[in-house]
Structure 1
Amino acid sequence: MRFRFVFLLALLVMTLTSTAMAQQEEQPDVPVFATQIVAEYHHDTNALTMGLLWHDGSLYESTGIAGASSLRRTSITGENEATRLVDAQYFATGLTLVGDTLIQLTLRDGLAFTYDIATLENTGSFSYEGDAIGLCYDGEALYMSDGTETIYRRDPETFEVLDTFTVNLNGENLAGIAELECVGDHLFANVLQRRFILRINKTSGSVDGLINAALLLPGIGSGENNFLNGIAYNPDSDTFYLTGTLSPT
């Protein structure tokens, strides 16, 4: 299987260095998918990307860092269409769309803000316990990560936890799950400070595919705040839009 990528960043690491992989001497018993770079576009190098999604011809991005967090709508070429600043006390993280409502997580504040997708006006919030990093919606449930190996299924209307499951690679728990994108029966996930993308079976939690992204964006992983993070899927063209924190593409 070959995946098509647009808006790419540099990362294509064939050798995985996750917690699970460190315990294994052999290559993972899962397929490593080939990639095809379709195009590259400018990305704001001041944006600490924590969430990314594609909708109706535009990219929506959640950027982090307390005091500089924002919700943005940009064109595919990187031109700003609208920006909503987040209160300075919050570190914004994951982002998803439910109907006409955007939901944006915060890292450690236990608040998920909701916005009207047309105006980016804040319309309310949900409360939750614990850390929150990645978020996606599959049409029925929300999937949220907290930087560990645990994924939370949540009700899109109440944000209550429906159940949880653990991400595992070859039977070993795999921590560090960050940005999420729901595509069909799978979750595609970034891993904190790593140069690969996981394809996770959203029923079992098993990693059943790896995307080697190491050559897609030079320099990713070279700094504490510079790493692969941000996956958006365009079902119309069957392409993925990728970027990284503080990445130029």
Structure 2
Amino acid sequence: MPSLDDFSVTRKWPATRPDLLQLYSLATPNGVKVSIMLEELGVPYEVHHISFDSNDQLTPEFVGTFPNNKIPAILDPNGPGGEPIALFESGAILLYLAEKYNQFLPQDLGLRYTTLQWLMFQMGGIGPMFGQVGFFNIYGGKDFEDKRPLMRYVNESKRLLTVLDKHLVGKDWVAGSEYTIADMAIFPWIRNMIVRYNAEELIGWGQYPEVSRVLSQWLQRPAVQRGLLVPAR
């Protein structure tokens, strides 16, 4: 029967508790999606810090298990059929955990697909667009004299926030009254726009009162507060 030792990633990051789910991550907006989900579930897990400074994600051990060389990633010793499974892509991991533990993804098909719709909205829109704002505002792109690339991504980010703000009117959470993986996917990126990318003024944060309301509510959840710190910086 396969074991965790069969996965190359464990050669560099050995599991001290091979019976637990192994999380390979960093406290980025994508990374904390999964740690927040695990904290919300109350599932015990072992975390391994993947350092971008030392290019851990490019090592043969990491890529041999997770070929897309990105975080977060998980290795679950108790996957389908009782066999280990390795997964990358934060959205896929959220969906896997939601289905495995039957939480944070509605059973009602209408609400289920609404949740998945907004999960894809984050993965295909919010994540890529907000990330480019961060690059051009505070990282390598900040020194570019031509500000058209920055403004292209700022304008698209503002459009996405406007879509979300209108949608949230009269709703507790993104999918309605139920807290779901869509919230866990979207709000780490919105928080990052403010606390990390210094883009509050650029995006006109005051124009999105509904997004601000739900973000504040989300940040009050104890599991969110814990998950945002995993792995410790």
TM-score (norm: length of structure 1): 0.29
Q: Which has the higher strand share?
A: 1
Q: Which has the higher helix share?
A: 2
TM-score (norm: length of structure 2): 0.30
- Structure showing greater radius of gyration is 2
